[in-house]
Chain A
């Protein structure tokens, strides 16, 4: 079993739809959870982080965390073609991101 698993892609949604990206993790001691976006040929950049159970919203993005189910998700509302990228879920047992364990990533394509 992988330490961090993301829903297998690629994921394709029409422009304006909601994109749902999922991630499960195996270490119950995990404290902090990060979503990064990586455009093709570029380095990852932070989208959101979450460490408390529940939802955290930032603009069109909502991160959801359920520690009991060891599950974290990212919802992208009103998806835009510019959201087309690979989304990486990262999990760490520390407060900060340093020694993060990454999932394989889910590639999202938003079609105009």
Chain B
């Protein structure tokens, strides 16, 4: 398998559920990211994990919890979400901030619906 793989593709969960999104990259990159894409809003960076740093967007609620066990895997743990958290969650990887012009490679995303 090549590229960035996300599972599941679709997820419907109640506000009291706990679920996790999984991302795996096969590109040999050293940085991984979670982005949120909501309707009518620009892509929003949630978390960054790389060899150089871990960055969290302080505006992301604590009901979203990232985990990065190694450079190829990234998880987003979800608990007690709200309906407004319904969105497309995109995982991405790159060669990191020092690679000139190194773009983001996105996975296919997880479409999350919170009921």
Interface residues of A, Cβ cutoff 8 Å to B:
4, 32, 34, 36, 42-46, 49, 51, 88, 90, 92, 94-105
Contact (Cβ within 8 A) A46 B41: no
Asked if B114 is an interface residue, CB under 8 A from chain A, the answer is: no
Q: Which residues of B contact A51 (CB under 8 A)?
A: 100-101
| Complex CA distance for A88 and B41, rounded to whole angstroms | 12
Asked if B31 is an interface residue, CB under 8 A from chain A, the answer is: yes
Q: Mark B20-48, 1 if CB is under 8 A from A, else 0.
A: 00000000000101000000111111001
Q: Which residues of A contact B40 (CB under 8 A)?
A: 104
Asked if B86 is an interface residue, CB under 8 A from chain A, the answer is: no
Main secondary structure of the interface of B (DSSP, over half): loop
Chain-A contact segment, one of B11-19, B69-77, B103-111: B103-111
Given contacts A51-B101, A97-B94, A98-B104, contact A104 B42 (CB under 8 A): yes
When the two chains form the complex, which single residue of B43, B94, B100 contacts A98, counting CB atoms closer than 8 Å?
B94
Q: How many A-B residue pairs have CB under 8 A?
A: 79
How distant is A91 from chain B, measured CB to nearest CB, in Å?
A: 11
Contact (Cβ within 8 A) B104 A46: yes
Asked if B81 is an interface residue, CB under 8 A from chain A, the answer is: no
Q: Which residues of B contact A46 (CB under 8 A)?
A: 103-105
Chain B: which residue is nearest A45 at the CB level? B106
Contact (Cβ within 8 A) A94 B45: no
Chain B: which residue is nearest A6 at the CB level? B42
| Complex CA distance for A105 and B99, rounded to whole angstroms | 25
Chain B: which residue is nearest A96 at the CB level? B102
